[in-house]
Amino acid sequence: MYGEFNQRRNNDLSFGLLSEDFKIYKNIDSVIHRLDSRVKFFWVLVVGIVMILFKDPIWMFAFSIPAFFLVSWMAKMTWNDYKPILVPIVMICTLAFLINQWLYPYEHTTFLFYLIPDMGVIGPAIPVSLESLLHASAIVLRIPLLMGPVRVFIGTTPMKDLASGFTKMKFPPEVTMSISIAMGYLPVLLAQLRSVMESQMARGYTFESGTKNPVKALTQFTPLMVPLVMRSIIRAEFLAAAMVCRGFEYDPQHRTYLKEIKLRRNDKIALILCFSGLGFAIYATIMGWPRWEVFSLPLIKSLFGIA
């Protein structure tokens, strides 16, 4: 009986954010962990701006090799750290790819094939051209390359450094505290969700994760929501009382800190690299280089001899 319960528990909890292997903050020592939180926040903004400016999938991937993959390797991040946030967006990426293929104008394009071939009853439909393929690839590739740096930032920055960094950047103390509490509470909320799910499964309750009925899917999680809401309210009351006792409301604009954060040598080097990458990206965009019409399309046509 215990073996059957343990098997059901592993099937229901072993994927995504509820996995025991998933940690919001990865408490290890690395070059990226030791960087100032303000530098890492600026790096996330730079990568996001560049991914929005670039329209060419080859340029986007080439820029992401030093700007994201190398940084991820230096931060000692693994696939298991990204899987809970990247796997669920596969459906979003697939839908975005199909919609862009469907809506892209196919006049005066290099036709390749039909996404839905001629099957007698239906088809052919949704023509795929080289131009639409490059256009859709650039849009879809942008999604994980925008989410990945955020995961690195959260996974390498403890909450105390995050709050101190936002305060140094002149964010209001109330906003800084709200952000740090929200991000710090996420692991607690996930742990409580695991606890409630295990308690309900020990009583014989089964969660059908594969159901396609939205009403049934919403109904089966009702036994989880009531305990979670009650626990969250109780925790919020204790947290509010602790903040009042420690004088959070007393002149937060002039609060001092025991440990003041300062930019060190590695932080300045990282900032120079970020500014250099951003400057090059802006210059390349002004020149019109990172567009698939200018770079990828002629390159692929010349490589494969497409007229």
Question: What pLDDT score does 280 carry?
Answer: 96
Which single residue is written with the structure tokens 């229901």? Answer: 12
CB 55 within 8 A of CB 142: no
Structural domain harbouring 147: 2-304
- 10-residue block means of pLDDT along the chain (307 residues)? 46 46 76 93 95 94 92 91 82 89 86 84 84 93 91 88 83 79 74 80 70 66 80 84 79 72 92 96 94 92 83
Looking at residue 197, its pLDDT comes to 80
Q: How many helices (H) and strands (E) does the chain have?
A: 13, 2
> What is the total count of domains within the chain?
1
Rg (CA), the chain: 24
**Angle between the N-to-C axes of helices 265-287 and 57-64, in degrees from 0 to 180, rounded to the nearest 10:** 170
Q: Which two tokens stand for residue 301?
A: 């046509």
Question: Phi-psi region for residue 263, left (φ > 0), alpha (ψ -120 to 50) or beta?
Answer: beta
Tokens 């305060």, residue? 167
Residue 185 CA, chain-centre distance (Å), reads: 18
Cα(14)–Cα(11) distance, integer angstroms: 6
Q: Residue 102: exposed, middle, or buried by beta-carbon count in 10 A (0-12, 13-18, 19+)?
A: middle
The whole-number pLDDT of residue 16 equals 47
